Structure 1
Amino acid sequence: MKAKNKILGPRALKKMVETARKEGKKIVFTNGCFDILHAGHVSVLEFSRAKGDVLVVGVNSDDSVRRLKGSSRPVNCQADRALVLAALESVSAVCLFKEDTPYELIKLVRPDVLVKGGDYKPGEIVGREFAKKVVRFPLLKGRSTTNIIKKVSK
Structure 2
Amino acid sequence: MSAPAFLAKIVARAEAPARLAALPGPVVFTNGVFDVLHRGHVTYLAQARAVGGSLVVALNTDASARRLGKGPDRPLNNEHDRAIVIAALESVSLVTWFDEDTPVELLSELRPQVYVKGGDYDMRKLAETSLVESYGGRALAIPFVDGYSTTNLVRRIKSAG
Both proteins in one fold, TM over 0.5: yes
Look up the match of 2:141.
136
Q: 1:12 aligns to what SS in structure 2?
A: helix
Read off the aligned partner of 2:132 and give its amino acid letter.
F
1:35 shift after superposition:
0.3
The separation in 1 between residues aligned to 2:123 and 2:45, in whole angstroms, is: 19
Read off the aligned partner of 1:6 and give its amino acid letter.
K
Contact 2:55 2:94 (C-alpha < 8 Å) held by counterparts: yes
Q: 1:127 aligns to what SS in structure 2?
A: helix
| Number of aligned positions between the proteins | 151
1:11 shift after superposition:
2.6
Contact 2:118 2:142 (C-alpha < 8 Å) held by counterparts: yes
Contact 1:102 1:126 (C-alpha < 8 Å) held by counterparts: no
Task: Name stretches of at least 5 consecutive residues in structure 2 with no aligned partner.
Answer: none
Task: Name stretches of at least 5 consecutive residues in structure 1 with no aligned partner.
Answer: none
1:14 to 14, 17, 31: 17
Task: Give aligned-pair identity as a percent.
Answer: 44
TM-score by length of 2: 0.88
RMSD value, Cα: 1.4
Runs of 4+ in 1 over 4 A off after TM superposition: none
1:119 shift after superposition:
1.5
2:7 to 4, 29, 42: 4
Contact 1:61 1:78 (C-alpha < 8 Å) held by counterparts: yes
Q: 1:70 aligns to what SS in structure 2?
A: coil
TM-score by length of 1: 0.92
The separation in 1 between residues aligned to 2:25 and 2:35, in whole angstroms, is: 29
1:122 shift after superposition:
2.2
1:12 shift after superposition:
1.6
Structure 2 counterparts to residues 87-106 of structure 1, below 5 A: 87-106=88-107
1:81 shift after superposition:
0.3
The separation in 2 between residues aligned to 1:34 and 1:137, in whole angstroms, is: 16
Contact 1:115 1:136 (C-alpha < 8 Å) held by counterparts: yes
